[in-house]
Structure 1
Amino acid sequence: MNFFLVKSMKQHANEDFVSFTWFRRSPRADDNQKMAIFWSHGDFYIRHTQGVLQNTGSVGMSLVIWTVCGVLSLFGALSYAELGTSIKKSGGHYTYILEVFGPLPAFVRVWVELLIIRPAATAVISLAFGRYILEPFFIQCEIPELAIKLITAVGITVVMVLNSMSVSWSARIQIFLTFCKLTAILIIIVPGVMQLIKGQTQHFKDAFSGRGANIMGLPLAFYYGMYAYAGWFYLNFVTEEVENPEKTIPLAICISMAIVTIGYVLTNVAYFTTISAEELLLSNAVAVTFSERLLGNFSLAVPIFVALSCFGSMNGGVFAVSRLFYVASREGQLPEILSMIHVRKHTPLPAVIVLHPLTMIMLFSGDLYSLLNFLSFARWLFIGLAVAGLIYLRYKRPDMHRPFKVPLFIPALFSFTCLFMVALSLYSDPFSTGIGFIITLTGVPAYYLFIIWDKKPKWFRRLSDKITRTLQIILEVVPEEDCDKL
Structure 2
Amino acid sequence: MKNCFHKEKKEDEAVYLRRKITLLRAISITISTVVGSGIFISPKGVLKNSGNVGMSLVIWFACGVLSMFGALSYVELGITFTKSGGTYIYLKETLGSLIAFLYLWSEFIVTGPANGAVVILAFAHYLLEHFLAPCTVPPVAVKLVALLIHYVTVALNCWSVSWSARVMNFLSFTKLTALTLIIVPGMMVLSKGHFENFQDAFDSSSLAVDKLPLAFYAGMFAYSGWGQTVYIREELVNPRRTIPLTVIMSLVVVTTGYILTNISYYTVLTTEEILTSDAVAVTFADHISKWLSLIVQVLVVLSCFGTLNGGLISGAREKFVAAREGQWPPLFSMIHIRRHTPLPAVMLQVPLLTFMVFSADLYSLLNFFSFSRWLFIALVVTGLIVHRYRHPEVPRPFKLPLFIPVIFIIICLSSVAMSLYSAPGNCSIGAAIILTGVPVYYLLIYRPMPARCRALFSYLTFKLQTLLEVVPQEIRTY
TM-score by length of 1: 0.92
CA distance in 1, matches of 2:274, 2:123: 19
> Which of 278, 283, 288 is the matching residue for 1:284?
278
- AA matched with 1:342: H
Task: For residue 313 of structure 2, give the secondary structure of its aligned residue in structure 1.
Answer: helix
- 1:214-363 to 2 correspondences below 5 Å: 214-363=208-357
Task: For residue 27 of structure 1, give the secondary structure of its aligned residue in structure 2.
Answer: coil
CA distance in 2, matches of 1:218, 1:459: 52
Shift of 1:455: 4.9
CA distance in 1, matches of 2:357, 2:423: 25
Deviations 1:107-164 (A, max 9, x none): 0001110111111110110011111122321221221111111111110000000000
Distance 1:56 1:476, change over 3 A: same
Question: What is aligned with 1:434?
Answer: 428
CA distance in 2, matches of 1:170, 1:375: 26
Say which is worse superposed, 242-251 or 364-373, in terms of deviation: 364-373
Whether the 8 Å contact between 1:39 and 1:235 is mirrored in structure 2 is: no
Task: For residue 22 of structure 1, give the secondary structure of its aligned residue in structure 2.
Answer: coil
1:473 aligns with 2:478: no
Deviations 1:258-299 (A, max 9, x none): 011111111110001110011100012111110011123232
Question: What is aligned with 1:111?
Answer: 105
CA distance in 2, matches of 1:357, 1:37: 27
- AA matched with 1:460: C
- 1:59-458 to 2 correspondences below 5 Å: 59-209=53-203, 211-367=205-361, 369-456=363-450, 458=451
CA distance in 2, matches of 1:371, 1:282: 19
Task: For residue 478 of structure 1, give the secondary structure of its aligned residue in structure 2.
Answer: strand
CA distance in 1, matches of 2:35, 2:108: 20
Distance 1:92 1:483, change over 3 A: closer
Whether the 8 Å contact between 1:42 and 1:231 is mirrored in structure 2 is: no
Question: What is aligned with 1:464?
Answer: 457
Whether the 8 Å contact between 1:70 and 1:261 is mirrored in structure 2 is: yes
Whether the 8 Å contact between 2:115 and 2:369 is mirrored in structure 1 is: no
CA distance in 2, matches of 1:164, 1:246: 27
Deviations 1:72-107 (A, max 9, x none): 001101111111111121011111110011100000
CA distance in 2, matches of 1:311, 1:354: 19
Task: Calculate the aligned-residue CA RMSD, in Å.
Answer: 1.7
Matched residues, number: 464
Whether the 8 Å contact between 2:49 and 2:215 is mirrored in structure 1 is: yes
Shift of 1:368: 5.3
Shift of 1:210: 6.1
Shift of 1:341: 0.5
Distance 1:372 1:286, change over 3 A: closer
Whether the 8 Å contact between 1:162 and 1:170 is mirrored in structure 2 is: yes
CA distance in 2, matches of 1:449, 1:270: 54
CA distance in 1, matches of 2:295, 2:366: 30
Shift of 1:390: 1.4
Task: For residue 364 of structure 1, give the secondary structure of its aligned residue in structure 2.
Answer: helix
CA distance in 2, matches of 1:466, 1:368: 40
CA distance in 2, matches of 1:438, 1:24: 39
Question: What is aligned with 2:18?
Answer: 24
Task: For residue 231 of structure 1, give the secondary structure of its aligned residue in structure 2.
Answer: coil
- 1:20-59 to 2 correspondences below 5 Å: 22-59=16-53
Whether the 8 Å contact between 1:25 and 1:167 is mirrored in structure 2 is: no
Question: What is aligned with 2:3?
Answer: none
Deviations 1:211-253 (A, max 9, x none): 4323320110111111110100121101111111111100110
Task: For residue 345 of structure 1, give the secondary structure of its aligned residue in structure 2.
Answer: coil
Whether the 8 Å contact between 1:100 and 1:393 is mirrored in structure 2 is: yes
- AA matched with 2:235: E
Shift of 1:371: 4.3
Whether the 8 Å contact between 1:120 and 1:368 is mirrored in structure 2 is: no
Whether the 8 Å contact between 2:316 and 2:346 is mirrored in structure 1 is: yes
- AA matched with 2:47: L
Task: For residue 471 of structure 2, give the secondary structure of its aligned residue in structure 1.
Answer: strand
Q: Runs of 4 or more off by more than 4 Å in structure 1?
A: none
CA distance in 2, matches of 1:104, 1:278: 47
Deviations 1:310-349 (A, max 9, x none): 0000011101110000000100111110000001101000
- AA matched with 1:471: L
Distance 1:78 1:267, change over 3 A: same
- AA matched with 2:333: S
- AA matched with 2:340: H
Distance 1:335 1:185, change over 3 A: same
**For structure 2, which runs of at least 5 residues remain unmatched after alignment?**
1-13
CA distance in 1, matches of 2:199, 2:364: 34
Task: For residue 194 of structure 2, give the secondary structure of its aligned residue in structure 1.
Answer: coil
- AA matched with 2:136: E
